[in-house]
């Protein structure tokens, strides 16, 4: 019954999607009423005003998160999405905040992760009200602003607001995600070798976020003479060519600067990217530089965690993945941040112990963030209801699946990830030229309107 409404409002649905995608909602320095920066605050203000102007009850919780509400009652069903995005990165053929539509796809950071799906849930709520749908339970569409970083938005929101009895997040893929791997980010600290007579690494950095495969890395090396610098640069170029590493090398007197370009991807799928930090470590490991053994060790790290002694898998959630997402040299100490997605039978504490015992005693390992795994019974009313909605639109007999990503389904009780990526579509989340099909966006509005109605009348 929602098709006619969508067709009548198609152009407005698309133009509002473009509006929200043009906002650069990357986490930044706090501003008044915007603890996560001006961009996320503007994005939240936009969606809340859009709903308020249509007569909905809205609420902004101190700039951390907000919601749009429909229906009556104390208990409620929640649909939780996020309006913050990861940095655009490099390698785009379309402006990352241009929201350009080409050949039926809209290109922008956040198109599929997660501002596009967020807008589809909001328009689903608009459709329900416009068509007079009266659910048995209240529905809240909740928007977070810190999902790509520390989830402080959800922590703050639920400090002041009651939790729902169930719901979903449109921040993964169809058919439905009933299990999510555990997530832990380990920081490995290694003292810089300041006494080395070899070429001295003066600066080293790479990556933007631990939940992205780093697309760039840079090192500055002092070779102590211009002759040595030229020889070192020549060796780095040859090593890069032999290993098919995308590198730019510059020399100025005794200083050599090495720039490595990679390909960004989501940290839960590190094999889909090209890790610039790992490639830079591999290049430094071929030369005679300070901390030479460290570079060889770091350069050996793989996406399965074998080189850290933590590889493993289980039947439900599959293999562990490891992404060296960020690295830096600060005040004489190297910091390497490894984002690990681990099977539900493992624990973060055991991974910490295993990595520490596998590495040199001089290397210190610590946990900087941790989320336990998520597992919802596939036979629960929540899963069965949403899978019934899925099958009514897609007409196949797919089963719920598990993923390595961490979604807001962990932030509320009795929740799963439901869409928004359609089956057999390439996932451009966290990649250059992130995009989403306009047709899929409009269909999701219909799917989510049905899903909200069904859940509000069932749970």
Tokens 């933590």 locate to: 310
Query: Containing H/E element for 204?
Result: strand 200-206
CB-hemisphere CA count at 13 Å for 402? 23
End-to-end Cα distance, the chain: 22
Phi then psi for 350, rounded to 5 degrees? -70, -40
Taking the C-alpha atoms of residue 274 and residue 278, their distance in angstroms, rounded to an integer, is 9
Q: Locate the DSSP E strands across 10-133.
A: 57-61, 65-70, 76-82, 100-102, 105-107
The C-alpha atoms of residue 295 and residue 278 are separated, in whole angstroms, by 9
Q: Is the peptide bond before 361 cis (omega within 30 degrees of 0)?
A: no
Q: What is the CA radius of gyration of the chain?
A: 24
Catalytic residue among 24, 146, 147, 222: 147
Residue 457 CB partners (closer than 8 Å, separation 6+) = 135, 136, 137
User: Quick check: is 195 catalytic?
Assistant: no
- The answer to whether the beta carbons of residues 421 and 112 sit under 8 Å apart is yes
> What residue has token string 């902004």?
60
On whether the CB atoms of residues 245 and 236 are closer than 8 A, the answer is no
Nearest CA to 180 out of 315, 79, 316 is that of 316
CB-CB contact of 263 with 91 (8 Å): yes
Structure tokens at 251: 């020399």
E strand or H helix that includes residue 337: strand 333-342
Residue in 372, 407, 433 with CA at minimum distance from that of residue 268: 407
Task: Please give the DSSP secondary-structure letter assigned to residue 71.
Answer: S
The pairing of strands 321-330 and 364-371 is unpaired
The dihedrals phi and psi of 384, each to the nearest 5 degrees, come to -65, -40
Annotation says 24 is catalytic? no
Instruction: Specify the DSSP class assigned to residue 342.
Output: E
Could you say which of 84, 148, 180, 427 is catalytic? Answer: 84
Give the C-alpha distances (Å, rounded to integers) separating 41 from 48, 113, 207, 369.
11, 17, 25, 24
Helices (H) and strands (E) in the chain, counts: 11, 24
What positions carry a catalytic annotation?
A: 84, 147
């Amino acid at each position: 019954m929602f098709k006619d409404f969508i067709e009548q409002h198609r152009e407005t649905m698309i133009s509002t999607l473009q509006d929200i995608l043009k906002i650069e909602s990357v986490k930044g320095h706090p501003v008044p009423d915007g603890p996560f920066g001006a961009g996320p605050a503007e994005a939240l203000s936009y969606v809340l005003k859009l709903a308020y102007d249509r007569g909905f009850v809205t609420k902004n919780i101190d700039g951390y998160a907000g919601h749009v509400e429909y229906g009556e009652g104390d208990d409620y069903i929640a649909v939780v999405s996020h309006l913050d995005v990861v940095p655009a990165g490099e390698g785009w053929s379309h402006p990352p905040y241009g929201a350009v539509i080409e050949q039926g796809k809209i290109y922008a950071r956040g198109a599929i992760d997660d501002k596009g799906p967020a807008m589809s849930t909001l328009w689903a709520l608009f459709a329900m009200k416009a068509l007079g749908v009266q659910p048995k339970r209240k529905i809240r569409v909740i928007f977070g602003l810190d999902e790509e970083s520390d989830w402080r938005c959800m922590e703050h929101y639920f400090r002041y607001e009651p939790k729902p009895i169930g719901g979903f997040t449109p921040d993964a893929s169809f058919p439905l995600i009933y299990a999510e791997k555990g997530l832990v980010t380990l920081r490995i600290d290694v003292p810089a070798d300041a006494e080395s007579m070899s070429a001295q690494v003066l600066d080293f950095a790479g990556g933007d976020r631990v939940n992205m495969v780093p697309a760039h890395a840079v090192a500055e090396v002092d070779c102590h003479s211009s002759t040595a610098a030229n020889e070192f640069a020549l060796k780095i170029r040859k090593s890069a060519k032999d290993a098919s590493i995308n590198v730019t090398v510059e020399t100025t007197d005794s200083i050599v600067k090495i720039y490595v370009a990679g390909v960004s991807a989501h940290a839960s799928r590190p094999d889909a990217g090209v890790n610039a930090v790992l490639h830079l470590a591999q290049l430094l490991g071929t030369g005679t530089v300070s901390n030479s053994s460290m570079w060889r060790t770091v350069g050996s790290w793989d996406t399965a965690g074998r080189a850290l002694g933590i590889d493993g898998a289980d039947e439900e959630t599959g293999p562990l993945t490891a992404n060296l997402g960020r690295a830096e040299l600060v005040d004489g100490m190297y910091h390497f941040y490894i984002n690990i997605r681990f099977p539900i039978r493992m624990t973060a504490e055991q991974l910490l112990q295993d990595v520490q015992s596998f590495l040199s005693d001089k290397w210190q390992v610590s946990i900087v963030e941790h989320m336990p795994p998520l597992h919802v019974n596939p036979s629960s009313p929540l899963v069965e209801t949403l899978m019934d909605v899925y099958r009514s639109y897609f007409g196949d007999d797919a089963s719920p699946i598990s993923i390595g990503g961490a979604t807001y389904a962990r932030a509320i009780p009795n929740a799963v990830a439901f869409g928004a990526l359609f089956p057999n579509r390439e996932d451009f989340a966290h990649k250059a030229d992130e995009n989403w099909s306009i047709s899929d966006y409009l269909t999701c509005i219909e799917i989510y309107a049905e899903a909200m109605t069904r859940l509000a009348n069932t749970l």
